[in-house]
Amino acid sequence: MKLDRLTRIVVALLILLVFIVAIGAMLFLTESALNVWDRLLQGPRALRYGYVAIMAALVATAIWLIWRLVVRRKIRPAQRKTTASKLTKADIRQRIAEAEAAGVDVGAAQAELQELASRQASGAVHLCFFGEISTGKSSLIKALVPDANVTVDVVGGSTADIRHYRWRNDKGDEILLTDVPGTAGHDQRLDEIATQEARRSHVVLFVCDGDLTRAEKQAVESLVELGKPLVLVMNKADRFDADEQAALMQRLLEHLDDMGSVIERDRLVAVSAGGEVDVVARSADGAEEIVRRQRPADIGVLVVAINRVLDDTGGSMDQKRDRAVFHLAADKLAGAEAQYRVQRSEQIIRSATRKAVLGSLAAVSPGTDVLIQGYVGTTMTQELCKLYGAAPRDLDIEEFLNLSQSRVGRALPLSLAVAGNGLKAFPGVGTVAGGLVHAVAYGLIFDALGRSLVLTLSRHGELVPDIASREFEEGISEHIEAGVRRVAEMALDEKPDN
Ligand SMILES: Nc1nc2c(ncn2[C@@H]2O[C@H](COP(=O)(O)OP(=O)(O)OP(=O)(O)O)[C@@H](O)[C@H]2O)c(=O)[nH]1
Ligand SMILES: [Mg+2]
């Protein structure tokens, strides 16, 4: 940088001046502070202490105000998850109570706790047979409890609900074998039903009938992550010869090792539930008939593995199960909260949009064009932030609305065009009055602002003004197009001469 001589002299003089002023101020401040201090020392003690206390309070207040102004506060709902592994009954109860007070439907979460209480009261151990469709879960249960009326079918998806079968091992423990729908079928909801039941059980018997698929491996991993004691059961071993079976078991052991040996190697067994097979039987007179036969079962190692896992986990089994159910209840609560937020945000956005439309319809003079910085925009932003657990400073809200307002200018022509077109689509509206088009256009902008804010808040969990307003700008045309019918209907409802 080249400065001419005169400028340099001026700058030098300025620097000198600043230093002289700073030194002077410093001297002055020190002198007055020492003066005051001397006088305080001579005065009564109470005055001294009182003076110091007031000074300290003033400094603390100043720091607090600066903190509030500069540091962004946020309550991140997602942060709760980090402590989830230590989730206790009291925690989940408190969360449910809070959510209920906020208007969330807590029925599903509460039902989980009730189901847990009744299982605790019965004292039975729940073993859940879990796995992809047609791996032979029902057949395994039938092999363990031959008298039970278990549905087995060649066609996958034969089990569509949850069934419990009473079984006593040699020790006489009260055990319930749970049959659940197979996963990876057509109906995603069945996967959900099965997974939830697995989470409610004490032990999961994960049934496969060959090498683990990627999805199966993921399912095993997530059950182990939830702290579920697990036995990996390779069923239909009769379909493989000794060499094939050995190779397969080796592959499965490698999978267990890949998972960091969280499942011990003796938790893997190969069995044959038997299942049923249709054979053609020829009678003496030569007539042929198809008869259903039971293949012989070979499940001795499974019974041993079950007894071992029950022995190993014995003491901590209930505690682990309870914790898994608390997590399940917490997940259900989180789902209900998310649903509540969607519904409530819709109401908030609708109400703000309606006010914008009404305001615009009622405006007598053109030029009341301050769109979103006013009361309606502020209230909508505050309410949406609160709903998503973000607690922005007032300044952030103001900054966000300012930035968004400046971006609206470019979107207004589009909004007007879309509004005009949208209104024409309504039968009987005929020639559309300018005021109505304006009202719809303004409503559309509020609608877009609200929807974009919801996306931003659910993505980031907080309101960062520049990010939020940028995301608003990026999505505005899409939101305007998507909202036109809704907002036009609203405006036609509100139109005074309607
Ligand atoms: N070869 C052979 N077939 C078996 C064995 N166990 C079961 N099967 C057959 O596998 C098919 C599926 O058996 P199911 O017991 O219905 O399987 P599932 O896992 O309960 O099936 P879904 O309830 O549909 O998920 C049936 O045709 C059984 O006969 C076995 O050990 N060996
Ligand atoms: Mg079944």
pLDDT digits (tens, 9 = 90+) for 177-225: 999 999 999 999 999 999 999 999 999 999 999 999 999 999 999 999 8
From the first residue on, what is the mean pLDDT of each consecutive set of 10 residues in the chain (498 residues)? 79 95 95 91 89 94 83 51 68 95 95 95 94 95 88 75 88 89 93 96 97 95 91 96 95 91 87 85 84 87 93 88 95 95 96 90 61 84 93 88 87 88 78 78 93 94 92 94 92 73
Phi (first) and psi of residue 127, to 5 degrees: -110, 125
Cα 137 to middle of ligand 1, angstroms: 7
How distant is the alpha carbon of residue 456 from its chain centre?
15
Separation between Cα atoms, residue 393 and residue 462, nearest integer Å: 11
Q: Is 270 in the pocket of ligand 1 (CB under 6 A)?
A: no
Q: How, if at all, do strands 125-131 and 203-208 pair?
A: parallel
For residues 158 and 275, is the Cβ–Cβ distance under 8 A?
no
Nearest atom (ligand 1) to Cα of 154: 27
Residue 321: CB atoms within 10 A of its CB come to 24
Q: Is 55 exposed, middle or buried (0-12, 13-18, 19+ CB in 10 A)?
A: exposed
**Which residue's C-alpha comes closest to atom 13 of ligand 1?**
136
Separation between Cα atoms, residue 475 and residue 488, nearest integer Å: 20
What ranges do the domains of the chain cover? 5-70, 85-332, 363-494
Cα 269 to middle of ligand 1, angstroms: 17
Pocket test for ligand 1, best of 135, 138, 139 (most atoms within 8 A of CB): 139
For residues 455 and 470, is the Cβ–Cβ distance under 8 A?
no
Q: What are the b/e assignments for 443-479, b being 16+ CB within 10 Å?
A: bbbbbbbbbbbbebbeebbbbbbeebbbbbbebbeeb
Q: Is 278 in the pocket of ligand 1 (CB under 6 A)?
A: no
Question: What amino acid occupies position 137?
Answer: K
Nearest atom (ligand 1) to Cα of 297: 31
**Which residue's C-alpha comes closest to atom 26 of ligand 1?**
154
Q: Is 133 in the pocket of ligand 1 (CB under 6 A)?
A: yes
Nearest atom (ligand 1) to Cα of 133: 25
pLDDT for position 370: 60
Pocket test for ligand 1, best of 153, 162, 191, 292 (most atoms within 8 A of CB): 153
pLDDT for position 201: 96
For 204, which DSSP code? E
Cα 211 to middle of ligand 2, angstroms: 20
Question: What amino acid occupies position 160?
Answer: A
Separation between Cα atoms, residue 470 and residue 448, nearest integer Å: 13
With 0.85 as the threshold, say if the pTM is over it: no
For residues 216 and 131, is the Cβ–Cβ distance under 8 A?
yes
**Which residue's C-alpha comes closest to atom 23 of ligand 1?**
159
Half-sphere exposure at residue 39, Cβ-oriented, CA atoms within 13 angstroms? 7
pLDDT for position 78: 45
For 74, which DSSP code? B
- Residue range 85-332 forms a domain whose CATH class is alpha beta
**Which residue's C-alpha comes closest to atom 32 of ligand 1?**
236
